[in-house]
Amino acid sequence: MTQDGRGRPDRSAARGRDPQQTTRDPKTRDKQTDPARSVALEVLRAVRRDDAYANLLLPRLLRERSLDRRDKALATELTYGTARCAGMLDEIIASAAGRPVAEIDGDLLDVLRLGSYQLLRTRIGSHAAVSTSVDLVRARHGMGQAGFVNAVLRKVSQRDEQLWIDTVAPSMADDMVGHLAFTYAHPRWIAEVFLDSLGSIGELQAALAADDERPIVHLVARPGQITAEELALISGGDEGRYSPYCVYLPEGDPGSLEAVRDGFAGVQDEGSQLVALALPRADVGADGGRWLDLCAGPGGKAALLGSLADLDGAHLDAVEVSEHRAALIEKVVDSLPVTVHVADGRDSGLEPGYDRVLVDAPCSGLGSLRRRPEARWRRTPDEIPALVELQTQLLTEALRLVRSGGVVVYSTCSPHPAETTGVIASVLDTVDGVEQIDARPLVAGDAVDPSSFGAGPHVQLWPHRQDTDAMFLAVLRKS
């Protein structure tokens, strides 16, 4: 990000101006609010107030407001960055304000978070960060509230991020996990879950640090429609390290690529591609061509599997319980040998005898927090038991639907042991005639040494190890 001093009025600012400005006192209208910050604030407000998803709302607002390239980049950085570290910012704001954030008006808190993020985690000058935040409040709430925001942000600006960590975070000596969780902007319980899975403080620190970074976009080149080499050439990206269909796109809008608009390529984390690829790579003997994606929404893996099924002469049934999400799947698998079923995967009504079944189970999503910036502050440990029960039921049903000699790939976008190895152990204990096979060669393909994915037989990916989402997968064969 470049040094930014944009509190200055410009013509484009009018496009992002709050309509209420036209009726306010002229003294409050003498400064136009910055368009990039106005968009970021609108998204942050919707995230807090309406449980909106930043990665869905922001792109729509950027299109509607017709921001220029520079303002789009700034709005994106401020929105995702602020949402990602909101919990950490709240502790600092509470210290600076001398009161808990629960006692601060929600709309003002949004501005304080946005301003504090600029002060602590960007190279934006302190004067610009404070003055543009004050402008946002003054335009909507008047001078009194603007004075409060000005006072708090000026206090925040008196220390840099490390000094605030030294002041507010738990000490390393007394609470190392709490200290690392604060430093890398994660709730403490999630840091504890990561530690349970990783087993060492050093790895925990690396995982939290990677999770705190803004990830690059991963594209998937749909097999039979475009190659990764071709996609890399036209997008300016680089071919992936593990998946033969992956392209890394360090910058740029993937929606502007013709290959994406035409459906030849899509946005998909490389870890998700590896999960989907494990299914057709497994040995099932004579493949009858009956493949099943039991939890197909929103359709990324179904599209990749559908493309591979098309090349192999197979057919994929894709099950999704939500009609809306099923419609999204229909859209991405158009012209592929895929039939979409609106049904609960635990009772789909489909006939058994599948050669290959994918259970990409609903989960806490703790493995994709870097791509869902606000999610880490919404999730709670209370949600886990119900998810584990659902995951167990889905995996059990998948094993009923697969034929003898066929395979089931179970995956979650979570490293939580209860959602991963715990579910596998539970099902192996209760379902007869099932064995777990080594997933590592199915993930590695011809790209890397399978042993690089750990001791097996399951695979747990991590952002700090593979630079993918923290996907888990295990492969079960029915005897």
CATH number at residue 100: 1.10.940.10
Has residue 30 been placed in a domain? no
| pLDDT for 33 | 74
Do 103 and 194 belong to one domain? no
* Residue range of the domain that includes 281: 270-478
pLDDT grade, residue 31 (50/70/90)? low
Confirm or deny that 295 is annotated as ligand binding.
Answer: yes
pLDDT of residue 12 exceeding 60, the answer is: no
State yes or no: pLDDT of 5 exceeds 80: no
Mark whether 228 and 309 lie in a shared domain.
no
pLDDT at 352 over 80: yes
* Same domain? 141 vs 80: yes
Last residue of a domain, one of 267, 298, 330: 267
* 315 and 462 belong to one structural domain: yes
Q: Please indicate, yes or no, whether residues 415 and 275 belong to a single structural domain of this protein.
A: yes
d(CA 60, CA 222): 25
Residues 6+ away with beta carbon under 8 Å from 295: 319, 320, 345, 358, 359, 360, 361, 362, 394
Q: Is residue 20's pLDDT more than 80?
A: no
Cross-strand pairs, 477: 407, 435
Determine whether the annotation assigns residue 363 to a binding site.
no
As to burial, measured by CB atoms within 10 angstroms (0-12 exposed, 13-18 middle, 19+ buried), residue 84 is buried
The verdict on whether residue 31 carries a ligand-binding annotation is: no
150 and 292: one domain? Answer: no
Binding residue per annotation — 174? no
Of 162, 179, 197, which residue is a domain's last?
A: 162
Backbone φ, ψ for residue 271 (5° rounding)? -60, -40
* Residue 462 in domain: yes
One-letter amino acid identity for 259? A
Is it the case that residue 21 has pLDDT exceeding 60? Answer: no
- Residue keyed to tokens 């008196």: 158
pLDDT in tens, 282-306: 999 999 999 999 999 999 999 999 9
Residue 198 placed within a domain: yes
Return phi, psi of residue 404, to 5°. Answer: -60, 130
CA 442 – CA 431 distance, rounded (Å): 23
Q: pLDDT band for 73, please (50, 70, 90 cuts).
A: very high
Q: Write the CATH number for 306.
A: 3.40.50.150
In a domain, 27, yes or no: no
Is the same domain home to 242 and 288? no
Q: Is 432 annotated as a binding residue?
A: no
Mean pLDDT calculated for residue range 145-162: 97
Residue 215 gets which letter from DSSP?
Answer: P
User: Which positions ≥6 away from 99 have C-beta within 8 Å?
Assistant: none
State the pLDDT confidence band at 30, using cuts at 50, 70 and 90: very low
Is residue 17 in a domain? no
Closest CA to 471 of 459, 454, 456: 459
Q: What pLDDT sits at residue 127?
A: 96
Residue (of 469, 292, 283) closest to 398 by Cα position? 292
State pLDDT tens for residues 417-447: 999 999 999 999 999 999 999 999 999 999 8
Number of structural domains, the chain?
4
CA angle 371, 266, 240 (to 5 degrees): 75
Say whether 449 counts as a known binding-site residue: no
* pLDDT above 70 (res 250): yes
Exposed / middle / buried, residue 267 (Cβ in 10 Å: 0-12, 13-18, 19+): middle
Do residues 259 and 265 touch, judged by C-beta distance below 8 A? yes
pLDDT score at 32: 66
> Is the pLDDT score of 27 beyond 80?
no
**Residue 296 marked as a ligand binder:** yes
Would you say residue 203 has pLDDT above 90? yes
Lookup: tokens for 174: 């007394």
Residue 413 annotated in active site: yes
| 298 annotated as ligand-binding | yes
Q: Is the pLDDT of residue 267 over 90?
A: yes
Claim to verify: residue 247 and residue 330 sit in the same structural domain: no
Identify the three-state secondary structure at position 33: coil
pLDDT at residue 255, rounded to an integer: 84
- pLDDT-derived band at 201 (thresholds 50, 70, 90) equals very high
Q: Is residue 9 part of a domain?
A: no
Question: pLDDT tens digits, residue range 161-190?
Answer: 999 999 999 999 999 999 999 999 999 999
250 belongs to a structural domain: yes
205 close to 191: Cβ distance less than 8 angstroms: no
Count of other CB atoms within 10 angstroms of residue 315: 17
- Say if residue 307 is in the same domain as residue 235: no
CA 182 to chain centre: 20
DSSP string, 260-309: HHTTSEEE--HHHHHHHHHHHHS--SS--SEEEESS-TT-HHHHHHHHHH
Do 196 and 228 lie in one domain? The reply is: no
**Residue 320 among known ligand-binding residues:** yes
Q: What is the CATH number of the domain that holds 248?
A: 3.30.70
**Radius of gyration in angstroms for the set of CA atoms belonging to the chain, rounded to a whole number:** 24
Asked whether residue 8 is assigned to any structural domain, the reply reads: no
Q: Exposure string (b/e) for 446-466, b if CB count within 10 Å is 16 or more?
A: eeeebeebeebebbbbbbbbb
Q: Are residues 200 and 225 in the same domain?
A: no
The two three-digit tokens of residue 386, written as one number: 């119900």
Q: What is the mean pLDDT of residues 446-462?
A: 96
- Out of 85, 246, 363, 413, the active site residue is 413
Is the same domain home to 381 and 398?
yes
Task: Please give the helix or strand (H or E) that residue 249 lies within, else none.
Answer: strand 246-249
Number of residues that this document lists for the chain: 479
